Each structure stands twice: as structure tokens, then as C-alpha cells.
Amino acid sequence: MKNRKLGNSGLEVSTLGLGCMGLSFGYGPAANTKDAIKLLHAAVENGITFFDTAEAYGPFANEELLGEALEPFRNQLVIATKFGFAGGDSKAGLDSSPKRIREVAEASLKRLRTDHIDLFYQHRVDPNVPMEDVAGTIKDLISEGKVKHFGLSEAGVQSIRKAHAVQPVTALQSEYSLWWREPENEILPLLEELGIGFVPFSPLGKGFLTGAINSDTTFDQTDFRNIVPRFSTEARAANQAMVDLLTKIAEEKQATPAQIALAWLLAQKPWIVPIPGTTKIHRLEENLGAVEIELTANDLSKIEEAASEIQIEGARYPEHLQKRVGN
């Protein structure tokens, strides 16, 4: 496994990380603990050193799972977690008050069975708490040795600038993939200017870009894709064109659509580290194969040209969740 540095921070991680949310939350029933630990151990054995969790995934179950599974390898790994929701519940509203940030830090350290959090993200910008107060609290936690690096998730340009002026931001985590390219407009140029790394979540379009989902696919009733407009039956039928494009390129490269989607992201900037999630070891291994795929300038230009002809249908979030991003 190759490594990458997240911006100018010096934080070095594996070229692909592992998004762990789906093991406990969001995509139907939680994985069996034994199977989840087996998957996390397989990730370590395959060279992944960057693991992403949050108190809100469960709540709390995901951090506890990582604490148990990764404790034997802790010193070799970079573990990222997040604060920002009242009581750790993503349905309960935002709370990034300094008091709450400190409470989350202490609780996360215990659940993760560690003495420091490598990368502590604000999960969503809280309009009721000045960003300077958030960044200042993280600065204090860093000086105390409890946190190593500060991150933001789904933050907008102004929030990133305000935070970075108080405590340098190591990484921004936001959605980015061939079917959600909004970060290219303002976010990527800003990150380049400030020397901040980028950690795309949902780099495979919440599973859609793998080719394993079509307009006939049904999701478990607890799967949040049921409320995502982009996953309506009509939108999936329309968006199949992007999967068809990836499949065509994959055939030429003797790869899979997922590998091409990840290789495309890796080719955008050397400080981009995607964190695809999975519950299956064979998918984990497939994703890791993307690191070895070289897309030439000609390949990228062909993808760009073909992708520009495809109109992606459906919003990426329902309205109530969309209000929490880009602030």
C-alpha cells in the first residue's frame, strides 16, 4: 500500500482509508461484530492505516467496535472520529459548544481505547457556535495531547477559512465522486491554497458506482438511501449512464467500475484520500486494487468528455439534511 500526505500537515495515511460507518449504521442492520472485526483486521493486513468513525455512528457502537478491533495495532494507525451532534445522535440536532466538544473527546478516547484522537472532525458546521470557538477548543485539546489534528466535514469556504485562521485544518471530509463534483467549484481550489488535505466520503456514490445497484434494487427499511432523492427508482434508471461509462472503461483496463471510480479520484490531486466503506472483505480487496490503476492524461480526458454528457438526476440529500452542508 502506498501512502499520501493530507495537505501540508505532515499527517501521512494509506492512499485509501476505510469508512467504517456502514458496519454499524446507515445502510441497514449493523454487521455481526465478529464479521466486522474480521473485516477491520483484513484492512490492517492489506495496508490500510486510516480508519474513519464518529460518535454518531450507532450512536457510539462504531467507535466501540473500532476500539476493540484496532487496539492491538493502535500505534500503526490513524483513527479519525467526529463531534457535532447533540448527545451524539445525528437526528437530535447540532451541538458544537466547547463543553460538548470536550465531552465527546473524553468519551471517544475511552471507546476507542486510546490516549489520543489522530484527526478530530467537526461533523457538521453548527450555526449557533462561532467557528473561532470550535477551532479554539480543538487548539486547546491539541496542546493537551488529546487530539493531534483538526478536521471539518461538509464545511463551506467561509467556515474553512475562519477555522484555519485559529487552528490549521488538516483535512476536509466531504462527498466527492464522479456523480457529485460540486467540490471542484470552490472547495478544491481553497484546499490547495491553504494546504488542507481532502478526504472524500461516498467515493463510490453510496454503492451506486460499483454497478451492484440498479433501478430494481430494494434496500432494507433502515437503509437511509430510501430517503435520498438520487436513489429514487427513476433517478437510478437515469443515472445508470454513469455506471455504463465506468463499466466500459473498466473493461478496457481489465478492472471493475468501482476501481475506475476510485482511481479517477486518486488522479485528481495527490492530497486526496478517499474512504470507501464496505462490510465485505472481497469488496475491500477490490477497492484496494484501485491504487495500482494508472489513468493516463488521455484516459482522464476521455472520462471527462463522456461524463460531461451525462446529467445526474436527483439531489444527494433530502432537504432537511441538505440544510446542514456547505455552511
Q: Which of 27, 57, 121, 176 is catalytic?
A: 57
Query: Phi and psi of 156, rounded to 5°?
Result: -90, 175
pLDDT-derived band at 84 (thresholds 50, 70, 90) equals: very high
Q: Roughly how many angstroms between the first and final C-alpha of the chain, as a whole number?
A: 35
Return the CATH number of 3-207+265-293, one of 3.40.50.10470, 3.20.20.100, 3.20.20.220, 3.20.20.140.
Answer: 3.20.20.100
Region 142-157: mean pLDDT is 98
Q: Is 57 annotated in the active site?
A: yes
Whole-number mean pLDDT of the chain?
Answer: 97
Mean pLDDT of 28-45: 97
Q: Please report which confidence band the pLDDT of residue 274 belongs to, taking 50, 70 and 90 as the band edges.
A: very high
Question: Per-domain residue ranges for the chain?
Answer: 3-207+265-293
pLDDT of the residue at 155: 98
What is the reported pLDDT for 18?
98
Q: Which residues contact 20 (CB under 8 A, 6 or more apart)?
A: 40, 51, 52, 53, 57, 62, 65, 66, 277
Residue 13 confidence (pLDDT): 98
Give pLDDT, residue 119.
99
pLDDT value at position 309?
96
Per-residue pLDDT reduced to its tens digit, 203-252: 999 999 999 999 999 999 999 999 999 999 999 999 999 999 999 999 99
- Structural element, H or E, at residue 152: strand 147-153
Average pLDDT (151-174) is 98
For 166-173, what is the mean pLDDT?
Answer: 98
- Chain centroid offset of residue 12 CA: 16
